[in-house]
Amino acid sequence: MKIQQVQKRFGDKRYNKEVVIKQEKKIKQEISNKMDGLRKKIEDAAAAEQGRSDE
């Protein structure tokens, strides 16, 4: 949703395109960081579960 709001500004002459591009990159990086953290949590939980089932 945030990316869509930023992308709508590309066509608006009132906004500096460089600023809009930076905002979009920042949001995408935040999403990527959160996804990486979530992936790690899931992998750790799966590894822990696998360790318990091996006992």
* Confidence grade of residue 2 (pLDDT, cut at 50, 70, 90): confident
Distance CA 46, CA 9 (A): 42
pLDDT at 47 over 70: yes
CB-based contact 6:23 (threshold 8 Å): yes
pLDDT at 6 over 70: yes
In sequence order, which residues have a C-beta less than 8 Å from that of residue 15 and are 6 or more positions away?
Answer: 9
Reported as a single tens digit per residue, the pLDDT across 7-43 is 888 788 888 889 989 999 999 999 999 999 999 999 9
- Note the pLDDT of residue 28: 94
* Confidence grade of residue 55 (pLDDT, cut at 50, 70, 90): low
